[in-house]
Amino acid sequence: MDERIRKHAQIIADWSTEIKEGDHVIIRAHPSAYELVLALYKEIGARKAKPLTLMSSNEANRAYMLEHGDGFQTPDHLIKLVEASDVFISIRGDDNMASMAEVPGSLVSSYARANKPLMELLTDMRVSLTQFPTPSQAQFAGMSLEEYQNFVWDSIIRDWQEVHDMQELLREKLADADEVCVQGPDTELYLSVKGMKPINSDGKHNLPSGEVYVAPSPEKTEGKIYFDLPVVRSGREIHGVRLEFEGGEVVDHSSDTHQDLLTSILDTDDGARRLGELGIGTNRNIDRFTRNMLFDEKMGDTVHLALGYAVPKSVGDGLKGNKSAIHVDIIKDMKKGKLTFDGETIMENGSYFWE
Amino acid sequence: MDERIRKHAQIIADWSTEIKEGDHVIIRAHPSAYELVLALYKEIGARKAKPLTLMSSNEANRAYMLEHGDGFQTPDHLIKLVEASDVFISIRGDDNMASMAEVPGSLVSSYARANKPLMELLTDMRVSLTQFPTPSQAQFAGMSLEEYQNFVWDSIIRDWQEVHDMQELLREKLADADEVCVQGPDTELYLSVKGMKPINSDGKHNLPSGEVYVAPSPEKTEGKIYFDLPVVRSGREIHGVRLEFEGGEVVDHSSDTHQDLLTSILDTDDGARRLGELGIGTNRNIDRFTRNMLFDEKMGDTVHLALGYAVPKSVGDGLKGNKSAIHVDIIKDMKKGKLTFDGETIMENGSYFWE
C-alpha cells in the first residue's frame, strides 16, 4: 500500500474526526476507494473505536432510481444507523463520473429530498469529506493516475495545525473588517461582511481544505466581477462568467459559454441572485483547476463567491444570511488581482499579505 | 452484465427474501461481489424498497482486529441499523480466502462474541445467505473462474418451488420416522429422530440450498460411520474421518489426516461429542466438493452429520436438542451407501426413492 494512503487515514482519524475509544464510526466509500478503507480500519482499530462501511455507488443509485421512479421514502434504517454514530467519513472517488448522466434531474431532487433528514443529522456529527484518487477522477481532472495521486495527496498530507494557525490570522482580519473589495481585470466588487462570522476551514470537515469563508450581507454587494475559472454544472463548463451587482442582487450577467445555463441558475429562486459566501483559498498545493469543488475552491491565490445559500455558522448573530435552494461557487484567480479588507491589501498578484 | 447475475438477484428478491414495497433492506458484500449488488439495487428499486450496502472485508477486519487487540465491544450503531431493517442479504465472495490467516483464533472468538447480538437479531429477519463467484473462491474450489461461475449459478438458478415440493415429500417421511439408518463401507449408524421437526431448506435462507435436515436425539445415536469427504477447518482438511457412537456420544474417533485437529474439535465442550444435525443433500447441480459448506452440505446424494449445536427449530416440541459452541458438518457420499427410515429405503447408490 502506498505510504501516503496510511498518512491520509491517520490525518482523517487524528485531525479531521479525532476518533477516540468507543466511537461509532461510519465510513462511506465506493469500492474504488477500498485501499483507504483498509487503512482506516487499521487506524480505527488502534483507537479502539467501532467501524462499519457503507458502500456508495452512483451506478447502483442510478439503477435503483430509474427502476423506482418518483416517490422516494426516507431510509429509516440509515437514519437509525447515523443517529447512533459519532463519526461519519465520506470518501469521494467513483469508477465512473458519468454514472448518473441518464438520471433525470427531477428524480435526483426527489431522492435528495427523501434523504434530507440524513444531511441534517450530519451537521451535528464529526464529519470528514475527503477524496481518494481513482482513475475516473483523474480522467475527469485531465491527468494520469500517478499525476493525480501526487496532486491529491500533496494537497491532503499537510501540517494542518500550521495551516490552521496561518489561516487564523486571516480569519481574525476578516472578522474585524467591514468592507471587502475584489479588484482585477473587469472587476471591482464591494461586499459587506460587517458583523459576520468568518470560518477557518482547516481540514476538520473538508479534506483537503485551506480556505477562510464568510457569509456576506445578501443586500450590500455592489459592482462587477469577472471569473477566470469556469463553473462546472451537470458536466457542462460555463466559462468567462461576468456578474454585476446592485443592492446585493445580480442585475446583469453574461458568460462566454452556456449563458442559458447561467441564467437558469440565477432564476432558481429569489436567493439565487444574491451571495451566500465569500471564500479565500489558501492551499497552494492545489495549483490547478480539476473540476472538483472539494479542491478547486481551496486553490491558493483565489477567491470564490457562492450564489445562493449561506452556511448558517458563517452568518453573524442577529444578522441575515442568504437563503436559496442552490449554492453555486464561482472561482476567481487572484494572481492577476487584488483583495483588500477596508483598504488593507490581503492578497495581490500571487502574494499573501496577512501572514 | 452476465444475465445470470440478474436472475440471481431476482431469485434473492422474489423467492429468498420476498422484498416488498417499503422494506428496509441491508446487503452485505465484499467489493468483489459488486455486480450482484448492482443487480440487486435494480430489483429493490423495482419493488420500491430501500436498500443500503455494508461493505464486508476480511482484509479490513484483519487490520482492525490485529490493531485493536482483545476486548471488542458490540457495535451499537450496527445493531440499531439491523433492528430497523426487514431484510438482510449476505453475499459471500472475497478476493482472498486467506485474509484472516494471521489472526489468532482467540481474537476471532472475542470479536464473534461482541457481535453475537447481531446474529441473534438476524434469526427474526428475512435473511438470505448467498455466494458470488469470485476468482479467489474459484481458486479455493480448484476451478477456473468460468467453470466456477457455471457451478455456482447452476446450483442457484433453479425452480425453487419445484425443489421445495420435491423435498416436502422427503420432509414428511422424515417427520413420520422414528429411526434413521446410514449404511455403507465401514458404516452402520442408527439415529433417533422420533418427534423431531425436520426442516425443508429450499432456498429461503441459504442460496443455494437443497437439503432436509433435522436434530437427532443427542443421546440415542449408536454405531459407526466413515465420512468420504473431508472436514475443512482453518484451511486444513481432515480426511477419512471415522466416528463411533454409544448412547449418542462419540466414544472412538480417527482420521487419515490431522487427527489432532479432529480430537480438539471433539474436546471443545460436552456437546461437541454429540450430534446436532442430520442433513440430506438433494441439490444434484452441486456435483462436487468445493470446500465451501454453503454448497457442500447440499450436494445431491449425500448425507451429513453435524457435531455440536442443534438448530432449535429442528428440535421437536418438548424434546432436547444438543447444545455446544460448535457446529461442525461432516459429509458422507451416499453414491456408495444406503439411507433408510424405519427400514424403508430413501437413498441408495446414487438413487432417490422418495420422489
Tell me the chain B residues in contact with residue A79 when contact means C-beta distances shorter than 8 Å. Answer: 84
pLDDT over 90 at B41, yes or no: yes
- Once rounded to an integer, what is the mean pLDDT over residues A154-163? 98
Q: Supply the DSSP string of A126-181, one letter for each residue.
A: EEEEEE---HHHHHHHTS-HHHHHHHHHHHHSS-HHHHHHHHHHHHHHHHH-SEEE
Residue positions counted in chain A: 355
Residues forming a β-bridge with A338: A183, A348
Contact A84 B77 (CB under 8 A): yes
- Among A68, A89, A100, the strongest candidate for a mutation testing the B interface, having the largest count of B CBs within 10 A, is A68
Please tell me the predicted confidence (pLDDT) of residue A275: 98
Give the span between the Cα atoms of B252 and B239, in whole angstroms: 16
Helix (H) or strand (E) holding B173: helix B160-176
Helix (H) or strand (E) holding B51: strand B50-55
Please tell me the predicted confidence (pLDDT) of residue B235: 74
Residues forming a β-bridge with B131: B92
C-alpha grid cell for residue B348?
Answer: 441408495
Residue A306 sits at φ, ψ, to 5 deg, of: -115, 125
Residues forming a β-bridge with A14: none
Task: State the CB neighbour count (10 A cutoff) for residue B178.
Answer: 11
**Residues with Cβ within 8 Å of residue A165, at least 6 apart in sequence:** none
Cell numbers 468568518 label which residue? A198
Q: Supply the DSSP string of A3-30, one letter for each residue.
A: HHHHHHHHHIIIIIS---TT-EEEEEE-
pLDDT over 90 at B123, yes or no: no
End-to-end Cα distance, chain A: 37
Please tell me the predicted confidence (pLDDT) of residue A158: 97
- Least CA distance to B30: which residue of chain A? A31
pLDDT over 80 at A38, yes or no: yes
Task: State the CB neighbour count (10 A cutoff) for residue A10.
Answer: 16
Interface list for B 49-108 with A (CB within 8 A): 50-55, 57, 59-61, 63-68, 71, 73, 75-81, 83-85
Looking at chain A, the whole-number percentage of residues with pLDDT higher than 70 is 100
- Rounded to the nearest 10°, the torsion over CA B229, B234, B235, B240 is -30
Nearest to B242, CA basis, from B332, B339, B340: B332
| Separation in Å, CA of B103 to nearest CA in chain A | 14
The count of CB pairs under 8 A between chains A and B is: 133
- Once rounded to an integer, what is the mean pLDDT over residues A53-69? 97
Instruction: Between A233 and A68, name the one with better pLDDT.
Output: A68
Question: Does the CB of A20 have a partner CB in chain B at under 8 Å?
Answer: no
Contact B31 A26 (CB under 8 A): no
C-alpha grid cell for residue B99?
Answer: 485474509
| Separation in Å, CA of A314 to nearest CA in chain B | 31
pLDDT 10s digits, B155-207: 999 999 999 999 999 999 999 999 999 999 999 999 999 999 999 999 999 99
- Residue B329, classed as helix, strand or coil, is strand
* Distance, CA of A257 to chain centre: 23
Contact A84 B80 (CB under 8 A): yes
C-alpha grid cell for residue B180?
Answer: 434413521
Contact A45 B64 (CB under 8 A): yes
pLDDT over 80 at B131, yes or no: yes
Give the span between the Cα atoms of B154 and A225, in whole angstroms: 65
pLDDT over 80 at A1, yes or no: yes
- Residue B155, classed as helix, strand or coil, is helix
Contact B48 A68 (CB under 8 A): yes
Contact B64 A73 (CB under 8 A): no
Give the span between the Cα atoms of A269 and A109, in whole angstroms: 15
**Residues with Cβ within 8 Å of residue B213, at least 6 apart in sequence:** B198, B199, B201, B277, B278, B279, B280, B311, B314
Tell me the chain A residues in contact with residue B84 when contact means C-beta distances shorter than 8 Å. Answer: 76-77, 79-81
| Separation in Å, CA of B80 to nearest CA in chain A | 6
**Residues with Cβ within 8 Å of residue B146, at least 6 apart in sequence:** none
Mean pLDDT over each residue of chain A, to the nearest integer: 96
Please tell me the predicted confidence (pLDDT) of residue A225: 98
Say if residues B44 and B13 touch (Cβ distance below 8 Å).
yes
- Residue A38, classed as helix, strand or coil, is helix
Give the span between the Cα atoms of A277 and A263, in whole angstroms: 19
Say if residues A144 and A290 touch (Cβ distance below 8 Å).
no
| Separation in Å, CA of A35 to nearest CA in chain B | 9
Looking at chain B, the whole-number percentage of residues with pLDDT higher than 90 is 94
Task: State the CB neighbour count (10 A cutoff) for residue A157.
Answer: 18
C-alpha distances out from residue B254 to B172, B188, B219, Å = 35, 16, 21
pLDDT band, residue A19 (cuts 50/70/90): very high
pLDDT 10s digits, A199-219: 999 999 999 999 999 999 999
Helix (H) or strand (E) holding B55: strand B50-55
Please tell me the predicted confidence (pLDDT) of residue A124: 85
pLDDT band, residue A105 (cuts 50/70/90): confident
**Residue among A38, A54, A85 minimizing CB distance to B63:** A38
Please tell me the predicted confidence (pLDDT) of residue A153: 98
Give the span between the Cα atoms of A331 and A300, in whole angstroms: 11
pLDDT band, residue A278 (cuts 50/70/90): very high
pLDDT 10s digits, B276-306: 999 999 999 999 999 999 999 999 999 999 9
Burial class (CB in 10 A: 0-12, 13-18, 19+), A324: buried
Nearest to A265, CA basis, from A205, A168, A330: A330
Look up the ipTM and state it: 0.92
pLDDT over 80 at A234, yes or no: no
Nearest to B114, CA basis, from B68, B83, B157: B68
Question: Does the CB of B1 have a partner CB in chain A at under 8 Å?
Answer: no
Give the span between the Cα atoms of B233 and B235, in whole angstroms: 5
Question: What type of residue sits at position B184?
Answer: G
pLDDT over 80 at A235, yes or no: no
Question: Does the CB of A1 have a partner CB in chain B at under 8 Å?
Answer: no
Contact A55 B84 (CB under 8 A): no
pLDDT band, residue B216 (cuts 50/70/90): very high
- Backbone CA torsion sign across A165, A167, A173, A174: negative
Give the span between the Cα atoms of B137 and A98, in whole angstroms: 32
Nearest to A238, CA basis, from A317, A300, A126, A328: A328
pLDDT over 90 at B75, yes or no: yes
- Once rounded to an integer, what is the mean pLDDT over residues A234-252? 94
Contact B48 A71 (CB under 8 A): yes
- Once rounded to an integer, what is the mean pLDDT over residues A253-259? 96
- Least CA distance to A83: which residue of chain B? B77
pLDDT over 90 at B355, yes or no: no
Whether the model pTM is above 0.80: yes
Nearest to A118, CA basis, from A146, A71, A85: A85
Say if residues B229 and B218 touch (Cβ distance below 8 Å).
no
pLDDT over 90 at B105, yes or no: no
Q: Name all domains of chain B by residue range, CATH numbers in brackets.
A: 3-157 (3.40.1830.10), 161-352 (no CATH)
Backbone torsion region of residue B238, taken as left when φ is above 0, otherwise alpha when ψ lies between -120 and 50, otherwise beta:
beta
End-to-end Cα distance, chain B: 37
pLDDT over 90 at A123, yes or no: no
Name the least confident of A172-176, B85-89, B323-327.
Answer: B323-327
Residue A53 sits at φ, ψ, to 5 deg, of: -125, 125
Cis peptide before A208 (omega within 30 of 0): yes
Contact A77 B84 (CB under 8 A): yes
Please tell me the predicted confidence (pLDDT) of residue B124: 85
